[in-house]
Amino acid sequence: MSSIQGTPVILKLDSPEATLERVGGKGASLGRMAAAGLPVPPGFHITTHAYRRFVSENRLEEAILSAAAHAGPDGPTTFEQASEQIQSLIAKCTIPEDVAALIVNSDQMQRGDILVAKVTTPAWTALFALAAGVVTDVGGPLSHSSIVAREYHIPAVLGTGVATERVRSGQHITVDGDAGTVRIVD
């Protein structure tokens, strides 16, 4: 667990502290699955405290609530459009430095690294701010990885099926999002 002034910011995926109140519904469910030994993507939780601080420091609350309020079957936007709008708002903001440092240290990712994962979810969004590119085993043009990579203007190659098997941590690779290629340099 990583914390700032005693308040948890990052929790291990299978942490017993990963409750609904601390990490949200999806995070708590993933935590229970990981603790039970079920296969889940590797990762960690960014707590609701850290999220609320991020929203507050970037003055996003009103914009997020407005986007959500206009979504619905009878609203001017669909839930998917509202979600994309909120993701776009979040992607343009700055993560508090102390929180960003804990995120980097929690998974050993450094600014300029290529993020290689089976799949990404909104919980991974903070890492896109550090990444120089993204490669995933699963995903396509409308996947989370694709949308967030476009927001951050970083190349992405998705749906490789084998990236996490072939690329080792610390290995140098190049990512050409236009050509859809990943090349292992060493």
Residues marked active site are found at 144
Phi-psi region of 43 (alpha: psi -120 to 50; beta: other; left: phi over 0): left
Paired strand residues for 116:
135
Distance CA 110, CA 186 (A): 19
Only one residue has tokens 């003055």, namely 59
- State the DSSP string of 129-169: TT-SEEEESS--TTSHHHHHHHHHT--EE---SSHHHHPPT
